[in-house]
Amino acid sequence: MNNTNEPVGSAAGLSTLQRARFGPGMLLQHEDLEQLNTYTRELSRLLFQSFFGCGVVCGLQVSGAADCGPLKVTVQKGLALACSGDPVYVPEEKIAQTDQDKFDPNNGTEVWVALCPTKKCCAPRTTTCCSDDDEATSDCTREKDGFEIRIYQERPDCACGCPQAKDTVQSGAAPNQGSENFCKCVDPKDPCYEDHYAGKCGCTCGECSGCDCKCILLARLYKTSDTKTPWKADHSVRRFIRPGLIVDPQIEKDKEPQATNAAGQEQSKALPMIQKRIADIKEAKRLLQEEEKQLKQEQKLQLQQQPVVAATGEGKPK
């Protein structure tokens, strides 16, 4: 009898990930060395996109102000993930302003703020293997990631974000489960996070495909009647993807011996008091028994000392 569990069917395929391999004495080309960078980047893209999707990881709070001039939008430092899985990092606070010819803060009522990735070629170097007839060409040896803050009058069609919530405070929040629910988790039925909880791969980004979606929606700035801060920020339109952290279970385990030792110490302190209390109860019980015994003896003595009265009667006359 064959005990091996052989497959009864199979299908094979290849992944899009590809690693570079080298051997002794091998002549390397530019594509071989570039593949080292490509594999690492494609792997991180795949993991980030699959784990979190697109959205804001931390920071990137938005505020706006217009003092007799263009609308100035301030974006705090932070990190976001594009739909491609590439991180977009803003290392410090950045201020962008609207073009006075395209937007008038006095007449406009709202703007949409998005963060888009950029790149810059740095440290160009001339190639040395060119022929005498060809002109020397140069390629960049470093590529620096950058960012661009874009301000739109209408919501951009191709940007990672969430639908505008009716209540900006409760947007994306899970239903209230009482004071014992300390986990600030989103509602799994929220359209912005529904695919994530359903285990679907990929990244949905408005009306465009994931490859074309490179911008992340940060906030909607809308005008109010408040004279001090007329421009308010609505961050409910951004997709927040910071992972939730759990309590270290080892901390609870470390507390168990301490709690046991503390209970033992308290018990040791309370033991003499308990023993004294038991002794007092026994002494009180002994005194009560002696008092009851003495009372019974007194009652018995009183009964013995009572005079005996004989019954007498008058005789009949003779």
**Is residue 268 domain-shared with residue 217, that is, in the same domain?**
no
Question: Is position 12 within any domain?
Answer: no
**Is residue 204 domain-shared with residue 90, that is, in the same domain?**
yes
**Is residue 99 domain-shared with residue 221, that is, in the same domain?**
yes
- Mean pLDDT for all residues in the chain: 84
Which DSSP string corresponds to 134-182?
SPP-EEEEEEEEEEEEEEESS--SSSB--PPPSSTTTTTBPPP--TT--
Number of domains in the chain: 2
Query: pLDDT confidence of 73, banded at 50, 70, 90?
Result: very high
The share of the chain scoring above pLDDT 90, in percent, equals 43
**Is residue 155 domain-shared with residue 258, that is, in the same domain?**
no
- Strands 216-223 and 231-234, by their bridges, are antiparallel
**Is residue 262 domain-shared with residue 198, that is, in the same domain?**
no
Burial 279-317 (b: 16+ CB within 10 A, else e): eeeeeeeeeeeeeeeeeeeeeeeeeeeeeeeeeeeeeee
Question: Is position 126 within any domain?
Answer: yes
Higher pLDDT, 152 or 206: 152
**Is residue 66 domain-shared with residue 184, that is, in the same domain?**
yes
Q: Do 104 and 118 form a contact (C-beta atoms < 8 A)?
A: no
**Is residue 67 domain-shared with residue 94, that is, in the same domain?**
yes
Question: Is position 157 within any domain?
Answer: yes
| Cα→Cα distances 106→68, 69, 71, 223, Å | 9, 9, 9, 9
| Residue 264 reports pLDDT greater than 70 | no
Range(s) of the domain holding residue 99:
33-237
pTM > 0.85: no
Query: What does the pLDDT look like over 1-46, one tens digit per residue?
Result: 567 888 999 999 999 999 999 999 999 998 999 999 999 999 999 9
Question: Is position 18 within any domain?
Answer: no
**Is residue 260 domain-shared with residue 144, that is, in the same domain?**
no
Query: What does the pLDDT look like over 184-193, one tens digit per residue?
Result: 788 888 889 9
**Is residue 183 domain-shared with residue 216, that is, in the same domain?**
yes
**Is residue 217 domain-shared with residue 99, that is, in the same domain?**
yes
The pLDDT value recorded for residue 307 is 66
**Is residue 225 domain-shared with residue 79, that is, in the same domain?**
yes
**Is residue 193 domain-shared with residue 250, that is, in the same domain?**
no
As a whole number of angstroms, the distance between CA 253 and CA 260 comes to: 12
The pLDDT value recorded for residue 71 is 94
| Residue 318 reports pLDDT greater than 50 | no
The share of the chain scoring above pLDDT 70, in percent, equals 82
The residues near 23 (Cβ < 8 Å, ≥ 6 apart) are none
191 burial (CB, 10 Å; 0-12 / 13-18 / 19+) is exposed
